[in-house]
């Protein structure tokens, strides 16, 4: 999960910060792009999250800004998201987001 959340954080271009618990670990400032963040369990500053603490896989408030950025970057809905509907569970949307970002990363590396 951590690597997938890190992948999303980098796609979203969140600025990096040193993690409050371990200064060798990178955390990300999610800022105002992620609304309604619950950081009661978070030991970092407000809106700074370690990938393990990110909630892309469980919170629509976290995931939907990523879907919106994908639509902007792709200039429309990519094929990974086309087969989804309004009633798709969050884990399916999360997986489609990961597949899109991974495919985009592979295209950039080529």
Other Cβ atoms closer than 10 A to 101: 21
Q: For residue range 5-30, list pLDDT tens digits in order.
A: 999 999 999 999 876 666 777 888 88
Banded pLDDT at 110 (limits 50, 70, 90): very low
Structure tokens at 45: 């500053």
The predicted-structure confidence for 49-104, as pLDDT tens digits, reads as follows 888 888 899 998 999 999 889 888 887 777 777 777 778 889 989 998 999 999 88
Q: At what angle do helices 90-109 and 2-11 cross, to 10 degrees?
A: 60
In whole angstroms, what is the distance from residue 37 CA to residue 59 CA?
9
Angle at 69 between CA 64 and CA 70, to 5 degrees: 95
């Amino acid at each position: 999960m951590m690597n997938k959340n890190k992948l999303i954080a980098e796609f979203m271009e969140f600025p990096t910060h040193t993690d409050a618990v371990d200064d060798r670990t990178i955390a990300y400032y999610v800022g105002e792009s992620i609304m309604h963040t619950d950081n009661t369990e978070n030991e970092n500053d407000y809106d700074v999250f370690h990938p393990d603490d990110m909630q892309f896989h469980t919170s629509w408030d976290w995931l939907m800004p990523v879907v919106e950025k994908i639509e902007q970057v792709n200039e429309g809905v990519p094929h990974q998201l086309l087969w989804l509907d309004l009633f798709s569970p969050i884990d399916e949307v999360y997986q489609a987001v990961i597949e899109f970002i991974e495919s985009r990363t592979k295209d950039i590396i080529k």
